[in-house]
Structure 1
Amino acid sequence: MSFNTALTRKLGIKVPVVQGGMQWVGYAELASAVSNAGGLGILTALTQPTPEDLRKEIRKCRTMTKNPFGVNLTLLPAMVPPDYGAYAQVIIDEGIKIVETAGNNPGPVINQLKKAGTIILHKCTTIRHAKSAAKLGVDFLSIDGFECAGHVGEHDITNFILLSRARQELKIPFIASGGFADGWGLAAALALGAEGINMGTRFMATVEAPIHNNIKEAIVNAEETDTALVLRRWKNTSRLFANKVTKDALEIEKNSTTGEFSEVAPFVSGKRGRQVFLNGDPDFGVWTAGQVIGLIHDIPTCQDLLARIEKEAIQATERNRSLYTQSKL
């Protein structure tokens, strides 16, 4: 028995699970492990300091897996925006056929990638944005619920509603993102009309994730209440692990009389967040985590995790079938 969804067919994968792009986490070690286990591993383009560094990482990943893998390219506000077009061109030049896009004004990059025949999975937090992305010709929509890590949008729509709205409104296939950690979640997403799931935080707590083990243990020991929403005041809401720095940033956000972003900027620095994954101090800087941390209780290999998810999803589906019996007339 194997999965046969629009996602597995189009991407050439065995299990309908995508490892979402994660800043400072989406390196070749993790992406290749997920792909080798039957899912879709994804490199994070902007984790690499230059387009040429991304080229090297793609080539490295190709030596570590013969299975399909993709690249995430997220477009977010920045004082000095990266050269997104140059990153996209490297993706095209290196023959990558699957790209996860997200963020603001993705039209030019999506157009550039689509001209090269790239399969696009675009992340959205509302149905309105999903419909706009569909008009750009994306192949799959990754519907990102409010439970997710990182940028949650400004509308606070949880996946149970968002996925059902997607099923009702969207004309192209979609996958579910935010709040998924096991096969029961995969089965639920499929039942709601999705073609698969996207997982980020769950893959951080795996053997192959290239982050300090202390952070993996912090995820395992956390509860679903151990995240916080920061930067809502500036309409850039992010879900972060609720450590000391996150709480300090929240206090400034709530109490600032000026509303100047510069007051909170040192606390939400990406450079400090990067060091968390290297030095293993979960309080050194801010780092993203979804509410799904409450469902994560171990640190398996990607192979063991995806095998377990596949088994659980089949069990959940069979259980649901057993609840229905044909009435005798």
Structure 2
Amino acid sequence: MKTRVTELLGTKYPIIQGGMQWVGRAELASAVSNAGGLGILTALTQPTPEDLYKEILRCKEMTDKPFGVNLTILPTINPVPYDEYAEAAVKGGIRIVETAGRSPEPFMPYFKENGVKVIHKCTSVRHSLKAEKVGVDAVSVDGFECAGHPGEDDVTNLILLPAAKAKLKIPMIASGGIGDAQGMVAAFALGAEGINMGTRFCATQEAPIHDNVKQAMVQGDERQTALIFRTLNNTARVFRNAIAEQVLEIEGKDGDTDFADLQPLVAGARGREKVLEGGDTDDGIWTAGMVIGLINDIPTCQELLDRMVSEAKALIAERLTTPFAD
């Protein structure tokens, strides 16, 4: 498969593993890259920039293929040394960075000086155009179906992707709601030149999370997600479990939501320790996209990518015949 995205990344397939907090580690990133896609290490999963540098070196021991680093730039109570994380990535030899959250503009001169290609994740057409204007090499356009933060516009990829494609000059990567060959072919038809998958890669053998979480995604359906933090204008799509229901109950009460009431329930450390590591899928918040309705197995990354590509070719050759009479 050859697109502007494979040329940009130097990969066999235009398939990218999303940068997921607590999940984007060397085990998964290297497996995706070895399978022909682009694996992504999540910078802020590592407690310090030095730990990120060590994780990059560890990943290099597992693959000789390209992989990148995700840097999610968000306002935080405790200051995060984003500049130092960026420097650790460059020091480790990373030449592909996925940015998310706030604009990557302050980091662009440094990345450009060091030959780093930047993909910025956007949830709207206007943000995609702004990212293009500040000089990113590609945008990853995230539809409402996605896990994590879908923005506040509630536009699905069936509309968002062609709307963005009509105005962008740089390559566009489709993100959100994709987990199989049908989704990949649809994304290309809508104007994308690559796809980004997060939730689907969580349900692979190499994903460094508890098997209970993977099985919950296999057993769940497309209705098994919830949108929390809507009252805070910081919407997040998560797996619908007991904690998510408690959050929705608090947000459903009259009056302004006080985040202090939610914090003990949604703390990231709780989700990591209780759910992703401990395996109690009801004792913390964990992000999941609507694509769980399409997840029916837990393959290796190699099996997943090979299957998607072969089935996509078959779909295009056998099923996408014209229904129109001459």
TM-score, scaled to structure 2: 0.97
* Secondary structure, counterpart of 2:192 in structure 1: coil
In structure 2, the residue matched to 1:14 is: 12
Distance across 2 between alignment mates of 1:321 and 1:160:
18
Match of 1:164 among 159, 162, 165: 162
For 2:89, give the aligned amino acid: I
Does the C-alpha gap of structure 1 residues 189 and 263 become closer, same or farther in structure 2, counting only changes over 3 Å? same
Whether the 8 Å contact between 2:221 and 2:292 is mirrored in structure 1 is: yes
Distance across 2 between alignment mates of 1:259 and 1:270:
19
1:63 aligns with 2:61: yes
1:140 aligns with 2:143: no
1:303 aligns with 2:302: yes
Distance across 1 between alignment mates of 2:55 and 2:239:
28
Match of 2:261 among 260, 263, 268: 263
Distance across 2 between alignment mates of 1:202 and 1:11:
21
For 1:318, give the aligned amino acid: A
* Secondary structure, counterpart of 2:71 in structure 1: strand
Whether the 8 Å contact between 1:84 and 1:109 is mirrored in structure 2 is: no
* Secondary structure, counterpart of 1:282 in structure 2: coil
In structure 1, the residue matched to 2:220 is: 222
Q: Structure 1, unaligned stretches of length 5 or more?
A: none
Distance across 1 between alignment mates of 2:130 and 2:202:
31
Distance across 2 between alignment mates of 1:248 and 1:77:
25
Match of 1:93 among 91, 94, 117: 91
Deviation by residue 1:289-312 (Cα, 9 ceiling, x = unmatched): 000000000000000000001011
Aligned length: 325
Whether the 8 Å contact between 2:104 and 2:120 is mirrored in structure 1 is: no
Identity of aligned residues (%): 57
* Secondary structure, counterpart of 2:191 in structure 1: coil
Structure-to-structure mapping, 1:165-180, within 5 angstroms: 165-180=163-178
Distance across 2 between alignment mates of 1:6 and 1:103:
24
Distance across 2 between alignment mates of 1:85 and 1:142:
22
1:318 aligns with 2:299: no
Distance across 1 between alignment mates of 2:55 and 2:138:
25
Distance across 2 between alignment mates of 1:304 and 1:286:
29
Match of 1:231 among 229, 232, 247: 229
Deviation by residue 1:2-60 (Cα, 9 ceiling, x = unmatched): x1101111111111100000001000000000000000000000000000000000000
| RMSD over equivalenced CA pairs, Å | 1.3
* Secondary structure, counterpart of 1:225 in structure 2: coil
For 2:184, give the aligned amino acid: L
For 2:110, give the aligned amino acid: Q
Q: Structure 2, unaligned stretches of length 5 or more?
A: none
Deviation by residue 1:246-291 (Cα, 9 ceiling, x = unmatched): 1101111121635321111111110111111111010110000000
Structure-to-structure mapping, 1:124-135, within 5 angstroms: 124-135=122-133
Distance across 2 between alignment mates of 1:271 and 1:256:
29
Whether the 8 Å contact between 1:202 and 1:296 is mirrored in structure 2 is: yes
Deviation by residue 1:191-211 (Cα, 9 ceiling, x = unmatched): 111111000000000000000
User: In the TM superposition, what is the alpha-carbon distance from 1:113 to its structure 2 partner?
Assistant: 1.5
Distance across 1 between alignment mates of 2:256 and 2:158:
38
In structure 1, the residue matched to 2:51 is: 53
User: In the TM superposition, what is the alpha-carbon distance from 1:164 to its structure 2 partner?
Assistant: 0.7
TM-score, scaled to structure 1: 0.96
In structure 2, the residue matched to 1:80 is: 78
Does the C-alpha gap of structure 1 residues 127 and 208 become closer, same or farther in structure 2, counting only changes over 3 Å? same
Whether the 8 Å contact between 1:29 and 1:210 is mirrored in structure 2 is: yes
